[in-house]
Amino acid sequence: MSSSDRWDYGVNSLHMKFIDDSRVPHQPYPELRAVLERFVADVSIELKDNLVGIYLIGSLATGDFDLDSDVDYLVVTQRELTEAEMQPLQEIQIRIHSLDIYPAQHLEGSYISLADLNDGSTVGEKKLFYFVNGSTDYERSTHDNQWHVRWILRERGITLVGSLAQALLEPVPQEKMLAEIKAALILMKELFEVEIDRPISFWNSRFGQPYAILTTCRMLHSLQTGTVQSKKAGAAWAKEFVDPKWVSLIDQAWAEREGVRFMVKIGQRAAPALLDKTLEFIQYGVSLSGRLSA
């Protein structure tokens, strides 16, 4: 029996109980649970004994999940999936996306084998099967094959079904995670510099500009604490830590993030003066990162 035969793709709950049930939020999207139940049920049926577990990562795990957050997941399998095995998993993503509700249309996640999850040599190198936010087409990406994602999974991950997240892997080497974060901050600065004066692109959009500010704050927070927290927590910390002249820019970034949804922001260019100030802040963050140590 296929997953599409098994479940009715409405928004009613299947009354499934997750392993970390109490950590699945009911707000701001009460329908999130029904979406997750359908995703977990269908993926579990499809993968059968190849499934190790399904986990929530991202802001659902680190905290401060809000109206504009992605629904980030990680599916761990016993063995690596093939292209043929990804086809029915893509069909699941398509069916859930067809529901006219926000959580169903903002699923973002990857499929990783247990061997790759525990192989440090693959981190940042091996591309996983990955669905970007809102997409029903999978691609190959290192997006979730990162040390900081492993840290979130082990230390904050929400186990929906399967083995507990902490049982899957050893503690993440802090020096590797912090080196990754420093390198990512430098790369973001370089990408922002390249795109700042170009026609509309990710980094110079009304989405990319506040994203760059809040991500810089979050990265600096991680370098200071050795943990990975939410963008909101990073912004609150940064306002107490950085030079006071940057506080208004951080406030602007948070207000912009909350004010307009993704598809609107990504298609509109940020003001040139604001982009210049944002680049200055990222450069400031890079210089500051060398002096921070958890």
Q: How far is CA 188 from CA 35, 106, 148, 174, 211, in A?
A: 33, 24, 16, 21, 11
Place of tokens 């307009």: 260
> What letters, b where the CB count within 10 A reaches 16 and e where it falls short, cover 1-32?
eebeeebeeebeeeebebbbeeebbeeebebb
pLDDT at position 1: 36
At position 24, the amino acid (one-letter code) is: V
Burial of 175 (0-12, 13-18, 19+ CB in 10 A): exposed
Mean pLDDT per 10-residue segment, the chain (294 residues): 49 81 94 96 98 97 89 98 98 95 96 98 97 95 98 97 94 96 97 95 94 97 96 96 97 84 77 97 96 74
For 128-233, strand residue ranges (E) read: 128-131, 138-141, 158-162
Q: Judge if the upstream peptide bond of residue 28 is cis by omega within 30 degrees of 0.
A: yes
pLDDT at position 267: 84
pLDDT at position 213: 98
pLDDT at position 257: 86
pLDDT at position 6: 46
Mapped onto helix, strand or coil, the DSSP state of residue 172 is coil
Task: Give the separation between CA 215 and CA 156, rounded to whole angstroms.
Answer: 19
Phi-psi group of 176: left, alpha or beta (phi > 0 → left; psi -120 to 50 → alpha; rest → beta) = alpha
pLDDT at position 91: 98
pLDDT at position 265: 76
Q: Cβ distance 56 to 73 under 8 Å?
A: yes
Is the pTM value of this prediction over 0.85?
A: yes
